[in-house]
Structure 1
């Protein structure tokens, strides 16, 4: 309840929390997602390539070594196979994620604008489910198919060409192959990532530490590390399900165990760690800065 002080008949109320406008969340999230995807894509490429059964001459689990070898043997451009699709998808994904998260956050936060760890994870989980349906699954399907296709005799010339061929062969539902596994992965990832970020941010605020771009980058990076190891199995299953041939969740899970054993579910974690360590810092710091520019009064 807000505190009220009376002075000469005038009531002075304690300032209430200011909510972030939805359009600010949408624009800030989209910009943050696009910047993050463009900078960190080589790590995403290497992670996806390792998760797919690779019969090419390049076989290593070291992300930097794989990036170097691909650049040397196939050219630097090969590291950006499917990049356009991911940038578009990540821009849309981040925009949907942040507007969904902030909308839910505004309804779950207390009168001081504080979100409990449990509610923060719930908000993140819901946002992840929404983004998986509206943005993630189609773009991830195309990106994964392009990288899988690039290992052998290429049948796809571009993202648009891949989309056209897949729809012609199997129908529009082909773009939603792996929807369940993607939703599982995105819900878990967003719950852990947004929940961890929110918890760390509230802890820092409670200790009186002023947040800036550097502290925000650090918090986001830590949230990214936690997210990788907590949700990697979902990501591995999703990747297998969205290869060129496609697969169901059970089939994808069995293929991972057959090829690599139980530890295979964490295949590509070092590549994903490289990306999410950077992306966690980038996406949250860019989001906060753009939000502050667009709507200074609502910047948390």
Structure 2
């Protein structure tokens, strides 16, 4: 066993640039799909001073298995998989790599929005099957339409710049946001439900906003709205969204996150042509991998030096 203090990574790897920063520590990897029991076992075995969270979550049991634990550092921006109340009780600091993957996730939001508005997946499949639908297909033009953004952190603001460049009217809801740029018009949720042609989610998942998009809120939306989610799957009541799509209340949805991950097969969204799916890879680019790893490592070191 190494004489160096341990850093446990809930994943199979870290960017070399991040590892270089952690040279004074023994880095222990938990593998690609770490389960809570596995993490608790590794925590008991290595007693890490820090956990860098890539996949899965950190429970009180895992924290208690590592008495030396001082910091839990998220390799990304969402900390909802970490029991922050339990960490606070144990005086364990929780940090996040805020903004490190903002460009990547905002680009995925844009890609899903365009894929829905332009029916890219369906048209691609039709073309490969030998069809030429020019005479019958009409796409949605986003210019001049209204998009409602829920959550105006680094990702939401980055995406707002992109859709503003498309000449969309940008409504934004975030009770914690300050100093918004002029192209984001602050709005409450009822205004977004009523006026948005596209709704895109960019907020963390909390007890208060779980299933924010549900049968009742979707019914308040404009008929034919497009829904995009690159944040957390728990923000959407999935059966309610499917029903709204099947009824035509929601025209299309582009989803990069799901209530249960990895995606459980069979899933109710499978085979629905009006839902474009991706496996929570919005923040997974080569650049974001480095940015998030370096930020997580730096946050870890900063906490350990206190």
TM-score above 0.5, yes or no = no
Does 1 or 2 have the higher relative contact order (CA < 8 Å, sep 6+)? 1
- Structure with the higher strand share, 1 or 2: 2
> 1 or 2, which has the higher helix percentage?
1
TM-score, scaled to structure 2: 0.30
